[in-house]
């Protein structure tokens, strides 16, 4: 029987370096972030950026290394440095109360906004003033599920690599291009020049989503602009849009939260684009 692998010390410089990535200024300086849990780590292992493998380092408890042996083996095969770690170490490099035993250190993976435009996007989510990291990650997940081509976070939105954003995306962060720090005016100007209709989602919008669908205006390339969780979109941002659209409330609820409204809007566009005559028609050519 082989000698058991030695656990990394909580005082190791590697642990200290990973712990620092829980703070935005260090993430930005190092261009690295933390991905927690088996789903995020699995996606990180499989993701490759222009510079190569995205996963740099993996901390795993002995129990998790056994339970997720395939992920750990894939991480090693991809060239990541793997450390067996105690629960104490996992608590040091994680923000969750009950870590799932796997924590990865990853390279930043955001894409230049110009690359997104060159790809000819048909459906884009623009997070213009989203400040809550959980909401940002959830909208990213919704965009991924709806088949969006990209997500853009403006310079007024939360840090994409906040651990709460990464967790809330449930791996979707690794699935589609995301641009960060783009001024909303530049985002709108660039997308419009690429032939994309700009739709601002706002509960007080003059256009009704159901009416837009019935009128057949949703089948072309579109970008949905989503605002702040509490106060929505400022007037100057709404003024940039081709249409300000509200999700109709058919019942007695006062409103929808940001992530729910984003899911409804993105799926409405996805459905219209896939209908006959839409820009992603599934009918035979």
User: Same domain for 199 and 234?
Assistant: yes
279 in any annotated domain: no
User: Same domain for 220 and 138?
Assistant: yes
CATH number for the domain spanning 221: value is 3.40.1280.10
User: Same domain for 121 and 91?
Assistant: no
**Average pLDDT in the 244-256 region?**
91
* CA-to-CA separations, 52 to 45, 79, 118, 219, in angstroms, rounded: 11, 10, 22, 36
Domain end call among 72, 107, 142 = 107
List the domain range (segments joined by +) for residue 201: 113-274
| Tally of structural domains, the chain | 2
Domain end call among 107, 130, 153 = 107
- Can you tell me the distance from the alpha carbon of 285 to that of 273, in angstroms, rounded to the nearest whole number? 15
Q: CA nearest 135: which of 285, 273, 260, 266?
A: 260
285 in any annotated domain: no
6 in any annotated domain: no
List, for residues 88-126, the tens digit of each pLDDT value.
Answer: 999 999 988 777 899 999 999 999 999 999 999 999 999
Query: Residue 140 has what DSSP assignment?
Result: H
User: Same domain for 146 and 45?
Assistant: no
User: Same domain for 120 and 242?
Assistant: yes
**Average pLDDT in the 137-154 region?**
97
3 in any annotated domain: no
119 in any annotated domain: yes
pLDDT bucket at 5, cuts 50 / 70 / 90 = low
User: Same domain for 167 and 181?
Assistant: yes
Query: Residue 275 has what DSSP assignment?
Result: S
- Can you tell me the distance from the alpha carbon of 178 to that of 126, in angstroms, rounded to the nearest whole number? 10
pLDDT bucket at 282, cuts 50 / 70 / 90 = low
Q: CA nearest 111: which of 165, 173, 56?
A: 173
Domain end call among 107, 136, 166 = 107
CATH number for the domain spanning 93: value is 3.30.1330.30
Q: What are phi and psi of 161, to 5 degrees?
A: -95, 10
Neighbouring C-beta atoms of residue 119, cutoff 10 Å: 13
123 in any annotated domain: yes
List, for residues 45-83, the tens digit of each pLDDT value.
Answer: 999 877 789 999 999 999 999 999 999 999 999 999 999
2 in any annotated domain: no
63 in any annotated domain: yes
User: Same domain for 49 and 100?
Assistant: yes
């Amino acid at each position: 029987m082989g000698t058991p692998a030695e656990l990394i010390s909580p005082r190791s410089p590697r642990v200290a370096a990973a712990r620092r990535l829980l703070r935005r200024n260090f993430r930005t300086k190092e261009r690295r972030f933390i991905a927690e849990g088996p789903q995020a780590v699995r996606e990180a292992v499989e993701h490759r950026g222009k510079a190569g493998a995205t996963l740099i380092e993996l901390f795993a408890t002995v129990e998790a290394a056994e339970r997720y042996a395939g992920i750990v083996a894939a991480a090693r095969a991809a060239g990541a440095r793997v450390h067996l770690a105690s629960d104490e170490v996992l608590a040091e490099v994680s923000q969750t109360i009950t870590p799932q035993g796997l924590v990865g250190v990853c390279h930043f993976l955001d894409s230049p906004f110009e690359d997104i435009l060159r790809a000819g996007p048909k459906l884009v989510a623009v997070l213009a003033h989203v400040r809550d990291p959980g909401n940002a990650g959830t909208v990213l997940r919704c965009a991924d599920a709806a088949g969006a081509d990209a997500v853009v976070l403006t310079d007024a939105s939360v840090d994409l690599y906040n651990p709460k954003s990464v967790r809330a995306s449930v791996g979707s962060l690794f699935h589609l291009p995301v641009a960060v720090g783009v001024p909303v005016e530049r985002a709108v100007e660039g997308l419009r020049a690429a032939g994309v209709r700009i739709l601002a989602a706002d509960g007080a919008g003059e256009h009704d989503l159901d009416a837009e669908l019935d009128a057949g205006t949703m089948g072309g390339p579109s970008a949905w602009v989503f605002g702040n969780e509490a106060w929505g979109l400022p007037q100057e941002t709404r003024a940039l849009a081709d249409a300000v659209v509200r999700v109709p409330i058919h019942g007695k609820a006062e409103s929808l939260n940001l992530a729910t409204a984003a899911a409804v809007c993105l799926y409405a566009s996805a459905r219209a684009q896939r209908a006959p005559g839409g820009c992603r028609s599934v009918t035979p050519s």
